[in-house]
Amino acid sequence: MSSTLMEGFLPFEHEPYFNFKDAQVADRQRAAFTQVREQYLGRTFPLIVNGQEVQGDGTFDVRNPADTREVVWSFQKATPAQLDEAVKAAQAAFEEWRFTEPFQRATIFKRAAELLRARRMEFNAVMTLENGKNWFEADGEVAESVDHFEVFAREAMRWATGKPVYPMPDEHVTTVYEPLGVVACISPWNFPSAIPLGMALGALAAGNTVLWKPASETPLSSYLMIELLFEAGLPRGTVQFLTGTDDVLGDPLVDHPGVRMIAFTGSKEIGCRIYERAARVQPGQKWLKRVIAEMGGKDPTVVCADGDLEAAATGIVQAAFGYSGQKCSACSRVIVEESVYDDLLARVVEKARGLKVGLPEENADLGPVITLGSAERITKYVQEGQGRVRLLLGGETPDVGERVGGYVVPTILADVPADDALFQEEIFGPVLAFTKARDWQHAIELANDSEYGLTAAFYSRDPRKIDEARKKIHVGNLYINRKCTGALSGTHAFGGYGMSGTNAKVGGPDYLFWFLQTKTIAQRY
């Protein structure tokens, strides 16, 4: 990256988290909840199509998962005609945005980072009311969104330089990268700020335009982020904001011949469906659609007999039960050498027993899972598993007063066989399976016994074992002697192997390549 292009860019530093143990900081966050309730509660928000705020065909309610009796705000249901209009508007905007200077894109992202820094607590509060994250989890995600703006500003500049080629004596040859077109970004509810923003910034930084389709559970986190981008100077036509039902924004969005690429994060089931449908060439379509997908995980932590058991226990509890286990990177399997199995298990149970389930708005350790249906599904896994394995923690219903929500206590199951559903299937809740390994090599084999391959943690003090783990554990993100959650944009490029997805590494040095196509230009002297 040339110094001329990057002139004025300070060295990148990750956005620091708020210290909510400071009483003044905590008071500011409480005030932000009051502000959000006063400013947004009960409002109905529009679609954004062709730069305009428009109404759809009816609305749907967004409910607070901490108490599902409370409707916090409402959003529009887009129509098929509005989807088609949005695609055409994005195509028209692409013809201008594709030729903008990368420095202009970077400047917009840098300005957006400053705007978001000033509103972080507001965005924290909105997220908590939409998806039940406590203050620490919400703030970590919004801080990551600030990092995304800073990282993608730099990546927009870096990819603009092209790549050198081996010279010819009578030709001037260059390799340059050009944007694709309209990118549909389809995002989940568990990271409603950082995930859609990362996908959208990848598209925009590369010169594409975006159809932004958020999860119906968490649309305000996306809407506010898009409005912030517009305030920072992003041309309004570059992003179309669509909310609504799957019959309009599911298969029809993926199938639309005007969509050049789909960027998706969500379940394996939906990701595979998108991958299959996108492979079909629709009437009028002039390209093969590109797809990037991140589809979940069944993430192991391997603990060797020589590992730091106390550090491992702390990392396991944080990774398994942070945000009630509703992260694709969450630790859901612990694989331990048998000589230290009982010791580690006791430490983890003791630490997890101290976690409190309660209202995320009051910063409880664990809030609810996203819906009552999710809680029922998670509870069924535990109930069915009790006849096969040992239940050491969990199984009871937490006391949250009169609130109606999907509250599930931290649950730990021991002696789980490798062929059990608890070991193999993504549960997406605060449920942790312990499995015994004969030795550390067997532990690595068990870690790889999964169709997923997103994250893993490996605890050992032995350089030889660590070297083997680095080579043989089959995941996109491997963490040595630390927890398997908490990837930082720009540092821990994030994306998995196998059925965890296409390995498009968001926040990494190669991510923009997925949103670009390569042109070779040879000019004879």
Q: What pLDDT, in 10s, does the model give residues 84-140?
A: 999 999 999 999 999 999 999 999 999 999 999 999 999 999 999 999 999 999 999
Residues 459 and 512 in one domain: no
- Domains: count for the chain: 2
Strand partners, 63: 71
Residue 488 lies in a domain: no
Domain boundary among 480, 496, 515: 480
Statement to judge: residues 276 and 315 lie in one domain: no
| Structural domain includes residue 127 | yes
Same domain, 319 and 211: no
258, 176: one domain: yes
Show the 3-state SS of 194-210. HHHHHHHHHHHHCCCEE
Q: In this predicted model, what pLDDT tens digit does every residue of 403-429 receive, in sequence order? A: 999 999 999 999 999 999 999 999 999
CATH number, position 397: 3.40.309.10
User: 10 Å Cβ neighbour count for 97?
Assistant: 22
- pLDDT for res 2: 46
Same domain, 305 and 289: no
Predicted confidence at residue 387, as pLDDT, reads 87
pLDDT computed for residue 6 by the predictor = 57
Q: How many Cβ atoms from other residues are within 10 Å of residue 493's Cβ?
A: 19
381 and 446 fall within a common domain: yes
Question: Based on the domain organization, do 199 and 306 belong to the same domain?
Answer: no
What is the DSSP track for 311-362?
HHHHHHHHHHHGGGG-STT-EEEEEEEGGGHHHHHHHHHHHHHT--B--GGG
> Does residue 153 sit within a domain?
yes
104, 120: one domain: yes
| pLDDT of 162 | 85
- Entry pTM: 0.96
61 and 138 share one domain: yes
430 contacts: CB under 8 Å, gap ≥ 6:
320, 321, 324, 325, 366, 369, 378, 394, 408, 409, 410, 411
Residue 491 lies in a domain: no
Interatomic CA distance for residues 362 and 205, integer angstroms: 37
Q: How far apart are CA 196 and CA 473, in angstroms?
A: 28
Taking CA 30 as the corner, what is the angle to CA 28 and CA 33, rounded to the nearest 5 degrees? 115
Question: Does the residue 493 lie in any domain?
Answer: no
Measured between alpha carbons, how far apart are the two ends of the chain, in Å? 27
Residues 393 and 519 in one domain: no
Choose, from 15, 155, 294, 426, the residue flagged as catalytic.
294
Q: Which domain holds residue 417?
A: 299-480
Same domain, 255 and 320: no
Which pLDDT belongs to residue 8? 62
pLDDT value, residue 9? 80
Instruction: Find the CATH number of the domain harbouring 509.
Output: 3.40.605.10
Q: Catalytic: 402?
A: no
Asked if the structure places residue 1 within a domain, the reply is no
C-alpha pair distances (Å), 126 with each of 25, 39, 134, 204, 352: 17, 11, 11, 25, 28
Residue 492, domain member (yes or no): no
Return d(Cα 329, Cα 318) in angstroms, integer.
12
Answer yes or no: is 96 within a domain.
Answer: yes
Tens digit of pLDDT per residue, the chain (525 long)? 444 455 568 899 999 999 999 999 999 999 999 999 999 999 999 999 999 999 999 999 999 999 999 999 999 999 999 999 999 999 999 999 999 999 999 999 999 999 999 999 999 999 999 999 999 999 999 999 999 999 999 999 999 988 899 999 999 999 999 999 999 999 999 999 999 999 999 999 999 999 999 999 999 999 999 999 999 999 999 999 999 999 999 999 999 999 999 999 999 999 999 999 999 999 999 999 999 999 999 999 999 999 999 999 999 999 999 999 999 999 999 999 999 999 999 999 999 999 999 999 999 999 999 999 999 999 999 999 998 999 999 989 999 999 999 999 999 999 999 999 999 999 999 999 999 999 999 999 999 999 999 999 999 999 999 999 999 999 999 999 999 999 999 999 999 999 999 999 999 999 999 999 999 999 999
Whether residue 177 sits in one domain with residue 89: yes
Contact between residue 332 and residue 427 where contact means Cβ atoms under 8 Å apart: yes
Which residues have C-beta within 8 Å of that of residue 291, sequence separation ≥ 6?
261, 262, 263, 264, 274, 275, 278, 502
Are 341 and 506 within 8 A, CB to CB?
no
For residue 82, the number of C-alpha atoms closer than 13 Å in the C-beta half-sphere is 24
